[in-house]
Structure 1
């Protein structure tokens, strides 16, 4: 009797565990498909309150700040308001992506179609924010 109980418990536990793993894998695949086809993506910085929002079609970017207090800054600051594409190039979702560097204020922006790279520096001080071709 004890053997049957433990066998049944083991089988039920295995079935439940397998079902949860399959659900997690499906959600991960769905999230990856959404992010690959997304026009806008958020990239975290090492600053808890700051993200970079990227238009993946044309390289336009904004610094996004959030707060949980009434006296903190919340909003978007422009990093790059101009398209990085030539006038004859077509916008494609997912064309641009950001990569972190070891410097918390700097990212590398990659055009995944033609391979052009840009240094992106975010900062609260307007004079210290820029996007520059490498």
Structure 2
């Protein structure tokens, strides 16, 4: 997100410089088109991370949509010591892929989600828990 914001800021700065230098003709129009194109692409870009709510009001699953890594995130409105983030799996399911490859779908079970690899079609059972030995991500065969 910061890279996109910096890119847009630089383009807008260039746009302002060109307009203040009293450039006329096609150069100004071309730069304006480029700024609009980048802004549109940024608005439509897939995010790297997504938060998925669980049915526990204090907990979310944070998915890295590029590689399938998932963390459990807990927040609190009263006590900072009750806030934490734990990895469900620190193993990437694939390498060097674009954002948006993985997504989560909740199930009727409060602790389980189905994760879909939208490129390969592979599905995974994702179980979160407060107990470390009950957290896992396993392929569904």
* TM-score, normalising length: structure 2: 0.66
Cα distance in 1 for partners of 2:103, 2:80 equals: 33
Could you say what secondary structure the match of 1:127 adopts?
A: helix
Matched, 1:96 2:102: yes
Q: Deviation string for 1:16-66 (max 9, x for gaps)?
A: xxxxxxxxxxxxxx9xx56x6100000000000000000000000100000
Stretches (4+) displaced over 4 A: none
Aligned residues: CA RMSD = 1.7
For structure 2, which runs of at least 5 residues remain unmatched after alignment?
1-39
Distance of aligned partners of 1:115 and 1:73 in 2 relative to their CA distance in 1, 3 Å threshold? same
Aligned to 1:59: 68
Structure 1 stretches lacking a partner, 5+ long? 1-29
* Alignment-derived partner of residue 131 in structure 2: 125
Deviation at 1:130, TM superposition (A): 0.4
TM superposition score normalised by structure 1: 0.69
Q: Which deviations, in whole Å up to 9, do the C-alpha atoms of 1:61-93 show, x marking residues without a partner?
A: 1000000112751010111111101xxx54111
CA–CA distance in structure 2, aligned partners of residues 66 and 84 of structure 1: 27
Matched pairs, number? 99
